[in-house]
Chains A and B, each alone.
Chain A
């Protein structure tokens, strides 16, 4: 059985990898319009 602490650190490593990749690829630029426009689905327009 895989120890829980190992699973925990694997998950943390994957999360860190995804976040670092998102910064390196400047992925956050994709989300800038979300704060500039009213989402018709959210606001029920």
Chain B
């Protein structure tokens, strides 16, 4: 099976598995990807929401931070490439953009030029610094996952919920990142996603490490052309904190120079 098809299968299986685990131990299994515990069918907690919630309550978020550290050490940022539904949505939009011929190389260069520190710094400010000061879950006001899994479903279910400023902010953020995904790829992951901090563990993770065999590599750069994160150099494949281990580089390499170490 092609890796691209396999990725959609792993996302579905991992999402269902996590839901099954979450339904048994609801409050002690934070999701390893962007999720929303305000979803009508929520079976577990979002670690990002939980961190903010604990901080606004004046508590130390031991459980979500410990879980994130564990997830990062096991698989680095592979959850973003193999599990995250928001990542899957962006990939699907980018695929659609390519099919429609509106994917832009200039936009991809912009995506490629965003330094790694942007997403972790912005998300730490929004999830760790501001919530205890303002007493509210600041990141959740712009979270795409909250918009798709809670904002829209609750409006469909309850009907009478209005469309206020908060919903409009969600809508603007979602539309912006959907357009950017159509044109260039995973802007949300490189600009705002708090799970980007898992990338710091990419070089020390236990499983699913990618290595480039430079003896085989002919520098054809097909791997970089397919990369949904627009990684800019072959040397960064597998080791860059941007790398989400989507394995597309391994699939498209004609020399099979990108080796997957389980």
Contacts and interface: CB of A to CB of B under 8 A. Distances in A.
B166 interface: yes
DSSP class of A's interface residues: helix, strand, loop or mixed? helix
Contacts, number: 127
Most buried by B among A5, A17, A40, A41: A41
Interface in A30-45: 30-32, 34-35, 38-45
Which 9 residue pairs across A and B have the least CB separation, nearest first? A18-B66, A44-B167, A42-B146, A41-B140, A15-B69, A15-B70, A22-B63, A22-B62, A42-B38
B36 interface: yes
Contacts of A5: 204
Contacts of B138: 41
B244 interface: no
Contact of B205 (A8, A18, A23, A38): A8
Contacts of A44: 141, 146-147, 150-151, 164, 166-170
A35 B26 contact: yes
| Chain A interface residue bracket vs B | 20 to 34
Interface string A11-32: 1101111110111010111111
A7 interface: yes
Given A16-B70, A19-B66, A22-B62, A38 B206 contact: no
